[in-house]
């Protein structure tokens, strides 16, 4: 499997101000290979991960995870400024819309029914779309917040996992990467 990372790589190189030569050196790839990826050549998944790890650009990492595994990604359009204040305002809006749909469509009652009508399934779908909007906005807010602090969502997660394990939110036997 190969993929094209031209756009996210170009944005990330510009944003992080990392030169292609430095990226090549830090990833162990040739400068010609990096230049090929910037020009639109297909990249192997393991090389895309190496590039994202070196660049430490949360938005690029989210995009790679989305492309490779179908994971959620952050919003990256131009409907709003991508700074914490603007994202906080949009997060409040999306959370409010989710809660309003939950109340309007009586979701607690709908999800407890053994059988639903097609109309009720549509109401459930309406609410789930609002949940999706709110989740993606939260992810976008998380990415921007970690960038502001000069870290990544993965770094934040790794530091937080012991707490989640202590709370029994996550198991301690999950697989980890060996470096």
In a domain, 172, yes or no: no
pLDDT of residue 178: 60
Model's pTM, two decimal places?
0.82
In a domain, 78, yes or no: no
Residue 146 and residue 111 share a domain: yes
Q: How confident is the model at residue 179 (pLDDT cuts 50, 70, 90)?
A: low
In a domain, 74, yes or no: no
Q: Return contacts of 139-144, CB within 8 angstroms, 24+ apart.
A: 139/62, 139/72, 139/73, 139/74, 139/75, 140/74, 140/75, 140/76, 140/82, 140/87, 141/84, 141/87, 141/88, 141/91, 142/74, 143/58, 143/59, 143/62, 143/74, 144/82, 144/83, 144/84, 144/87
Of 69, 93, 109, which residue constitutes the final position of a domain?
69
Residue 90 and residue 65 share a domain: no
Q: Which of 64-68, 112-116, 149-153, 174-178 has the highest mean pLDDT?
A: 112-116
Q: How many domains does the chain have?
A: 2
Q: How confident is the model at residue 100 (pLDDT cuts 50, 70, 90)?
A: very high
């Amino acid at each position: 499997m190969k993929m094209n990372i031209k756009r996210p790589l170009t944005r990330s190189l510009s944003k992080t101000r990392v030169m292609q030569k430095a990226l090549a050196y830090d990833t162990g790839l040739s400068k010609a290979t990096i230049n090929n990826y910037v020009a639109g050549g297909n990249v192997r998944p393991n090389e895309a991960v190496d590039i994202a790890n070196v660049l430490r650009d949360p938005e690029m990492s989210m995009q790679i995870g989305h492309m490779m595994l179908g994971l959620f990604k952050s919003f990256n359009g131009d409907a709003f400024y991508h700074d914490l204040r603007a994202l906080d305002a949009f997060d409040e809006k999306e959370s409010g819309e989710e809660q309003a749909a939950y109340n309007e469509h009586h979701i607690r009652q709908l999800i407890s029914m053994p059988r639903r009508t097609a109309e009720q399934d549509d109401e459930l779908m309406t609410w789930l779309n609002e949940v999706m909007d709110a989740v993606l906005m939260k992810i976008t807010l998380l990415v921007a917040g970690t960038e502001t602090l000069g870290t990544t969502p993965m770094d934040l997660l790794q530091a937080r996992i012991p707490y989640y394990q202590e709370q029994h939110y996550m198991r301690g036997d999950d697989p980890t990467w060996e470096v």
